[in-house]
């Protein structure tokens, strides 16, 4: 693990909880987020030189609160609100724990913050963008890439969303909130997990902290709505997908595709829980996208060997999925399933239909490269692998794709496509 990674993970874990604590006590979402960012920067500078506090979340809340209070005091119009919030705050809210005790603040506000960011006053796109920023800890650039829009456009969307919810009460979600906000909440959790499982940029394939936080929050939502099939299905999908994490990379961080993974490294406990949740989710009303994707993930995980994978059943599930949710990434996954059942030429025909909708996306190029290779078009496959490598911002994916292109140049035996192209992950 590279130096500083532990502290980076710790800060990313606590950031949404610290922000939630400040918003609950003081309001002022935008100002609170700025103060939290300043506290995170202070921690990133100080902790490597000293030591991580016994109660890192309490430290961050204390520093961020001081900075927020200073900012509020600078504005006479906000003085009354600041004094009221200070009077209501628990006496020991910002005190450090005794030596040897790692007491956390009494309330984890992350779930409340999640529902606040998905307030019905916001458009769906703004709900998702704001939550990915405040709860997921993703940068504006990462969120923009996930939505295939310019970074400046996404920055404006997030700023408008903050202004829109200014003054909205910070409270635990009630039944009406859950009904109105559940769909965007689940989509945000899906995207946070997706970024954690396969990072869109950087030197690491997997951001385990994001994946774990998405699973934790989804469990919390399921405690609120235990009989909601979409919630159960999403949790099942996350568990079944994350169960493969230990086998996805080699000793040097290199990507290992699904059908080459050592399946003994997969997390059997998570697979068992996820498979049971799939059965439960499919019994909780009509199957939506999360239930269907979790069923596809279960079929992958239940195969003892890659050649045992039930591709006809996976294709049947994809057929239902794309009929109900015509989303291009789901259709790309279906193209792979078509190729596995009916041959690479049939899969290439499906990929061609997605050219306009996924133009410039490296996953489209990676799938095309794999299918061209399977069809015997080595020159075309080599060019597509190189194109995909040039378009991804993920260092492990780019390295894998370039290596694959180089092997084709030397006439080495064909291997599997990149994992993100071949399996049913979010």
pLDDT tens profile 232-242:
999 999 999 99
Q: Say what the pLDDT of residue 317 is.
A: 96
Is residue 200 in a domain?
no
pLDDT band at 75 (very low <50, low <70, confident <90, very high): low
Question: Taking Cα atoms as reference points, which of 143, 172, 290 lies closest to residue 231?
Answer: 290
Whether 334 and 318 have beta carbons less than 8 Å apart is answered as yes
Backbone conformation region of residue 27, classed left if phi is above 0, alpha if psi is from -120 to 50, else beta: left
Of 367 and 98, the one with more pLDDT = 367
Among residues 201, 287, 273, the alpha carbon closest in space to that of 242 is found at 273
Angle at 348 between CA 345 and CA 353, to 5 degrees: 135
Better pLDDT: 373 or 50: 373
Segments of 1-143 assigned E as strands: none
Per the model's pLDDT, the better-predicted residue between 117 and 300 turns out to be 300
Mean pLDDT is highest, among 147-151, 345-349, 388-392, for: 345-349
> Residue 412: what pLDDT?
54
Closest CA to 113 of 123, 99, 127: 127
Domain assignment present for residue 1? The answer is: yes
How many angstroms separate the Cα of 398 from the Cα of each of 66, 201, 402, 417? Answer: 43, 10, 6, 12
Q: Which residue has the tokens 């920067």?
A: 41
Residue 277, token pair as written in the block? 């949740």
Distance CA 389, CA 397 (A): 7
Average pLDDT over residues 141-151: 78
pLDDT of residue 87: 42
What does the CA dihedral 350, 206, 114, 20 come to, rounded to 10 degrees?
A: -160
Per DSSP, 308 falls in state G
CA distance 36 to 64: 5
| Least confident piece of the model among 76-80, 106-110, 216-220, 244-248 | 76-80
**Per-residue burial over 37-75, b = 16 or more CB atoms within 10 Å of its CB, e = otherwise:** ebbbeebeeebeeeeebebbbbbbbbbbbebbbebbeee
Q: Per-residue pLDDT for 117 more than 90? A: no
The answer, yes or no, to whether residue 314 has pLDDT greater than 50, is: yes
Is residue 98 in a domain?
no
Give Cα 322 distance to the centre of its chain: 21
Distance of CA 362 to the CA centre of its chain: 18
Give the mean pLDDT of 28-44.
80
Rounded to an integer, the average pLDDT of 189-211 is: 80
- Give the residue-averaged pLDDT of 70-94: 48
Q: Which of 29-38, 39-48, 255-264, 288-297 has the highest mean pLDDT?
A: 288-297
**pLDDT score of 90:** 43
The last residue of a domain, from among 71, 89, 107: 89
Beta bridge partner(s), residue 201: 393
Cα(72)–Cα(22) distance, integer angstroms: 13
The whole-number pLDDT of residue 202 equals 67
pLDDT given for residue 360 in this prediction = 87
Choice among 90-104, 164-178, 268-282, 341-355 with the minimum mean pLDDT: 90-104
CB contact set of 88 (below 8 Å; sequence gap of 6+): 25
Q: What is the CATH number of the domain that holds 406?
A: 1.25.40.10
Instruction: Work out the average pLDDT over 111-122.
Output: 82
Residue 95 reports pLDDT greater than 70: no
Q: Does a structural domain hold residue 141?
A: no
Q: What are the tokens at 37? A: 């960012």
Q: Residue range 120-134: average pLDDT?
A: 82
Q: Report the distance separating Cα 159 and Cα 207, nearest Å.
A: 26
**342 found inside a domain:** yes
Residue 184 confidence (pLDDT) above 70: yes
Reading the block at residue 106, the tokens are 């009494």
CB-CB contact of 247 with 270 (8 Å): no
Confidence of residue 3 (pLDDT cuts 50, 70, 90): very low
Query: Is residue 250 domain-resident?
Result: no
Would you state the pLDDT for residue 282? Answer: 93
Identify which has the larger pLDDT, 199 or 75: 199
Domain count of the fold of the chain: 2
- Of 70, 89, 108, the residue that ends a domain is 89
DSSP 89-147: S-TTTTPPPPTT--PPPS---HHHHHHHHT-TTS-HHHHHHHHHHHTS---HHHHHHHH
- Whether residue 187 is contained in a domain is answered as no
Instruction: Work out the angle at residue 165's Cα, subtended by the Cα atoms of residues 161 and 168, and round it to the nearest 5 degrees.
Output: 165
- Domain's final residue, options 60, 89, 118: 89
- Among 163-167, 178-182, 190-194, 410-414, top mean pLDDT goes to 190-194
Q: What is the pLDDT of residue 366?
A: 94
pLDDT of residue 108: 61
Q: Please state, for a pLDDT cut of 70, what percent of the chain lies above it.
A: 84
Q: What is the pLDDT of residues 315-369, one digit of tens each?
A: 999 999 999 988 899 999 999 999 999 999 999 999 999 999 998 899 999 999 9
User: What is the per-residue pLDDT for 74?
Assistant: 62
How high does pLDDT run on average in the chain? 81
17 within domain boundaries: yes
| Helices and strands (DSSP H and E) totals, the chain | 20, 2
What percent of the chain is predicted at pLDDT more than 90? 36
Pick from 200, 184, 195: which is nearest to 238 by CA? 195
Task: Kindly tell me if the per-residue pLDDT of 105 is higher than 50.
Answer: no
**Mean of pLDDT values over 274-295:** 94
What radius of gyration do the chain's Cα atoms show?
A: 23
pLDDT at 104: 41
Residue-range definition of the domain harbouring residue 332: 303-426
- C-beta neighbour count of 314 within 10 angstroms: 23
């Amino acid at each position: 693990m590279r130096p500083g990674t532990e502290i980076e993970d710790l800060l990313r874990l606590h950031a949404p909880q610290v922000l939630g604590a400040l918003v609950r006590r003081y309001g002022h979402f935008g100002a609170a987020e700025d103060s939290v960012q300043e506290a995170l920067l202070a921690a990133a500078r100080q902790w490597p030189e000293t030591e991580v506090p016994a109660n890192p979340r309490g430290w961050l809340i204390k520093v961020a609160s001081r900075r927020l209070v200073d900012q509020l005091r600078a504005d006479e119009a906000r003085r009354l609100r600041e004094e009221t919030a200070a009077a209501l705050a628990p006496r020991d809210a910002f005190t450090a724990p005794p030596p040897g005790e790692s007491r956390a603040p009494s309330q984890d506000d992350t779930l409340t913050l999640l529902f606040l960011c998905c307030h019905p006053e916001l458009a769906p796109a703004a709900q998702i963008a704001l939550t990915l920023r405040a709860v997921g800890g993703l940068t504006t650039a990462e969120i923009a890439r996930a939505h295939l829009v310019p970074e400046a456009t996404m920055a404006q969307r997030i700023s408008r969303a903050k202004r829109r919810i200014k003054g909205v009460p910070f409270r635990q979600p009630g039944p009406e909130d859950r009904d109105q906000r559940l769909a965007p909440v689940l989509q945000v959790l899906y995207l946070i997990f997706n970024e954690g499982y396969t990072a869109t940029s950087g030197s690491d394939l997997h951001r385990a902290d994001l994946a774990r936080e998405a699973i934790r929050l989804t469990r919390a939502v399921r405690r609120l709505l235990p009989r909601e099939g979409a919630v159960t299905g999403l949790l099942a999908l996350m568990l079944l997908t994350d169960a493969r994490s230990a086998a996805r990379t080699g000793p040097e961080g290199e990507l290992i595709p699904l059908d080459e993974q050592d399946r003994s490294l997969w997390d059997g406990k998570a697979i068992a829980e996820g498979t049971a949740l799939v059965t439960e989710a499919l019994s909780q009303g009509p199957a939506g996208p999360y239930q269907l994707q979790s069923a596809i993930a279960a079929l992958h995980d239940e195969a003892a060997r890659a050649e045992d994978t039930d591709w006809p059943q996976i294709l049947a599930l994809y057929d239902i999925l794309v009929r109900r949710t015509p989303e291009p990434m789901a259709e790309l996954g279906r193209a792979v399933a078509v190729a596995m059942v009916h041959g690479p030429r049939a899969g290439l025909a499906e990929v061609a239909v997605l050219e306009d909708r996924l133009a410039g996306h490296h996953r489209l190029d990676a799938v095309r490269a794999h299918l061209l290779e399977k069809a015997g078009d080595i020159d075309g496959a080599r060019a597509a692998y190189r194109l995909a490598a040039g378009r991804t911002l993920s260092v492990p994916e780019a390295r894998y794709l370039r290596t694959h292109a180089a092997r084709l140049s030397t006439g080495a035996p064909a291997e599997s496509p990149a994992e993100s192209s071949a399996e049913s992950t979010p």
